[in-house]
Chain A
């Protein structure tokens, strides 16, 4: 941006403050430095060590130039007002924020100029919470949230959940306050909070970054960042907010907003999809495996239509709500399917190798394959479009029979059409028998799952099967959203709950960075609240303690979210890892839990929640105490507020 010298120079203003207000400090300022600081403001009041800061009226009287000097103290039509217009133009409803001086101009514009609405500031007590909330929100809302952070210290805090969002293929707009021009920075803090390469610490796990130096460029870069972030392969994108740009006046009063049109997602090659259709139709035992496939409710609908057209099972990894849990073709927990398959269609599989092979955890690491050598593997995946790769989140390379670049959901209508055209009357005639077989296997599997859930029903610590069932019993007639993963709960909800709406589950934790669960759940619950639902979150105690201040945001902004603390008083995954190491080395598995337990003292999560204004129940260690506690907590949640239940649970 071309710096304006219109008598409202921000740094001149700051220099004036330093000269007039910080008397003791000014007394030690070298004359040359004073001259340098004042050379761009010839009309400035001379430096008088120890003098009080003159008010605008006194300045006007003493200089004889009232208009210029009064303007020296004020800014109208601030550049950050235009920045807010840009955010509104793209359609951001929220922006998470832990305050930081490098973006004070934009923060003030959001509230006073923008009316604190679309976007609305969401107050956070840690930038990792800011990015975690944005990650969860995007999954449920189907559109990104913006976050704004200090550069350096704030972006460092935010980075872990930015990485989680990147690994989960979730869009996010990261705005980073920075003071690009070293000549205008105040000594001290502003230098610590500025970097010359703004995005350096996160560049390996974002899709795009930009450091615009004019308002026009800022607007264009926000549109570009939003376009890239929301185009599969989705991910976070970063735009610098230069403090001078934000705090100085916008001298282009008619600066237009750049045109913004959402990008249409990449569709796989139609010829390739026609080949896929023929393979699926002609296969003896084809299966579909879906990971980060359904981006919208329509994605789930299309996948159901495809499966029903062929009467073939779908294995849903659970990172997206790909397939109804109560559908007879849901084969997510049938471990025999892969071995029987002659054609496997993988949709947005981040870990294609992990589907077909494994490297078991033994001292000698060796590769084993799970599929038959003759199995045809098809992979439709936007991962093939990824442009960078320091981080290894793409998992091990496996070359399928047919690798096809493209977004799976966008490609499904064309694949479905190709399948319908390829289906013969003979093939359609097979469908009723296929359906009957899958209905039978589904029912048998649910009986087995119920049997395991009922085992040790009255045990204390409470079994996971018991407390998950107790919760479902009280929410099953409501339209709710489960906003957490369920792996550490044995995936009981995916096995035994009837989840058949896209918004029933929003659960992608990305890179398994601990500390994602609570803020991400709150973000998803914000979107669910706006859609008229309350949410339920299963949260491990270890994850909970990484960013417990998230609860304050939920309380402050009145988010209807029931958080169940799965309290096994350990980082239990690591407990098992350490036990494995000790057993492997034949030395003392009974001592290996040192450093992995969260005991002595036990943490009282209910009191923790209460300290932040959140309703808290527990610790609950007896199963007969569960139902009334859940009822009380749900009553609070249905009134529009958060609640926490601390359940002393079996480890898994």
Chain B
């Protein structure tokens, strides 16, 4: 079993490495995405939160964009730049399915992006005592 990828099957799987590769580049065998605006258009956070759920983004990335291994990458807090997200969603390079304009408008995507940007950063792991018992220096 290819455990690294076999079960990644869902929605907006924005893997970090591929995000970097996709920025300004085209997927293999597909035309390059139209040039994306550098900054996100105004979006509605509340509407974006609803769309994040209804369009199924949460299925891989979690309801607050936290991501997990074997599913979607972490995309919040501090989501990738709008240009990267808006380009990658249309022409993803990893396992994520493509969301075309026909099913996901730029306006809706902007709302979703506004929601992701609104998610506050939590405590860093170093400030969570419960996580500090893990062995960091191996045998």
Contact = CB atoms under 8 A, between A and B. Distances in A.
Determine if chain A interacts with chain B.
yes
Interface of A: 291, 317-319, 324, 326-328, 330, 333, 335, 350-351, 354-355, 358, 360-361, 395, 439, 442-443, 446-447, 449-459, 461, 463-465, 469-470, 473, 476, 487-488, 490-492, 495-498, 500, 572-573, 575-577, 579-580, 582-584, 586-590, 592-593, 650-652
Interface string B89-100: 000000101111
Contacts of A593: 56
B39 interface: no
Task: Report which residue of A360, A452, A457, A583 has the largest number of chain B beta carbons within 10 angstroms of its beta carbon.
Answer: A583
Contacts of A651: 58-60, 62, 71
B35 interface: no
Nearest to B132: A450
Given A590-B56, A651-B58, 18 more contacts: A326-B139, A335-B4, A350-B1, A354-B2, A355-B2, A439-B138, A452-B74, A454-B123, A454-B125, A456-B122, A461-B63, A490-B70, A492-B69, A495-B69, A573-B9, A576-B56, A583-B97, A589-B11
Interface in B28-81: 54-56, 58-60, 62-72, 74, 76-77
A455 B139 contact: no
A361 B95 contact: yes
Given A454-B123, A579-B56, A580-B10, A652 B63 contact: no
B133 A575 contact: no
A580 B9 contact: yes
Contacts of A446: 134-136
A452 B62 CA distance: 12
B131 A317 contact: no
Contact of A326 (B60, B77, B138): B138
Contact of A459 (B5, B60, B64): B64
Given A463-B62, A586-B102, A328 B136 contact: no
Interface string B110-139: 000000000100111100101101111111
5 closest residue pairs by CB, A with B: A576-B10, A454-B125, A354-B2, A490-B69, A652-B71
B139 A328 contact: yes
A239 to B, nearest CB: 31
A358 B66 contact: no
A450 B5 contact: no
Contacts of B102: 586
23 contacts: A326-B135, A326-B139, A360-B95, A361-B9, A442-B138, A443-B137, A446-B135, A450-B131, A455-B74, A456-B64, A456-B119, A457-B128, A463-B66, A490-B69, A576-B9, A579-B10, A582-B103, A583-B97, A586-B100, A586-B102, A650-B63, A651-B58, A651-B62
Contacts, number: 173
A330 B139 CA distance: 10
Given A439-B138, A580-B97, A459 B133 contact: no
A455 B134 contact: no
B9 to A, nearest CB: 5
Contacts of B9: 361, 573, 576-577, 580
B2 to A, nearest CB: 4
B56 A453 contact: no
Contacts of B63: 459, 461, 650
Nearest to A463: B66
A354 B54 CA distance: 33
Contacts of B11: 576, 579-580, 583, 589
Nearest to B11: A579
Contacts of A324: 139
A457 to B, nearest CB: 5
Contacts of A587: 103
B138 A327 contact: yes
Contacts of B64: 456, 459
B104 to A, nearest CB: 8
Given A358-B5, A491-B69, A652 B60 contact: yes
B134 to A, nearest CB: 5
B103 A454 contact: no
A650 B62 contact: yes
A449 B67 CA distance: 12
Contacts of B74: 452, 455
Contacts of B68: 452, 463-465, 490, 650, 652
Interface string B3-20: 111110111000000000
A450 B3 contact: no
A360 B3 CA distance: 13
A583 B99 contact: yes
B137 A439 contact: yes
Contacts of B6: 354
A473 B133 contact: yes
Nearest to B17: A335
Contacts of A326: 135, 138-139
A288 B104 CA distance: 44
Contacts of B60: 576, 651-652
B121 to A, nearest CB: 9
A579 B103 CA distance: 12
Contacts of B137: 439, 443
Contacts of B136: 443, 446-447
A358 B2 contact: yes
A411 B105 CA distance: 59
A487 B3 CA distance: 8
A443 B134 CA distance: 11
Contacts of A465: 66, 68
Nearest to A444: B136
